[in-house]
Amino acid sequence: MAKRKKLSLIIGNILIKWMLRSPWHGVASNDIMLITVTGRKTGQQYTTPVNYVSDGEVLSVLSHAHRTWWRNLRGGAPVKIVLRGKTIETFAQAYEDQADVRELFAQHLQVAPKFATIFNVELDAEGQPVPASLEAVAAGKVMIEVELPEEEAEK
């Protein structure tokens, strides 16, 4: 079963990558972008589709810590993204510290509350994440912040 799930993920990623680079990118571009990172040791480029939240000049991405693509962003690094059908060279930074992840994920939820439901984050009466719930979801995750050039942030 694990092989079938991995194969489905690989095929799904190939299809999403194709779509986000195609004229039909609008179907998914409001929530998904491609991010290309360069391996620090190998120099090889890795491209992966990720969900993102846009907040002015910053795109935030939540990823599982067990995934490997984001590790090349420790300490910050140049990246290439495909955002809404446009390729942009920019800079990204990974945050692994759990206090940072909780804080950045809370900001992520303020901008896009739909992710509270997706990640089963409990909200209080004011719509704020319940700290214990936020902490449980943030465990084992990392946040990545991608800088947007000013001219792209205005769109």
Amino acid 57: pLDDT? 92
pLDDT tens digits, 46-85: 999 999 999 889 999 999 999 989 999 999 999 999 998 8
Domain total in the chain: 1
Amino acid 28: pLDDT? 66
Q: Contact, 34 vs 77, CB < 8 A?
A: no
Beta strands (DSSP E) in the chain are 32-38, 45-51, 53-55, 58-64, 77-83, 86-95, 141-147
DSSP per-residue codes, 93-127: EEE-SHHHHHHHHHHHHHH-THHHHHTT--B-TTS
Amino acid 7: pLDDT? 66
pLDDT tens digits, 77-128: 999 999 988 999 999 999 999 999 999 999 988 888 888 888 889 888 888 8
CATH of the domain at 126: 2.30.110.10
Domain, as residue range, for 25: 2-153
Helix (H, G, I), strand (E, B) or coil at 22: coil
Query: What pTM was computed for the model?
Result: 0.83
Amino acid 24: pLDDT? 62
Q: Say if residue 130's pLDDT is above 70.
A: yes
> Rounded to an integer, what distance in angstroms lies between the CA atom of residue 49 and that of residue 47?
7
Place of tokens 């920019």: 90
pLDDT tens digits, 1-44: 577 767 667 766 777 776 677 776 666 667 889 999 999 889 99
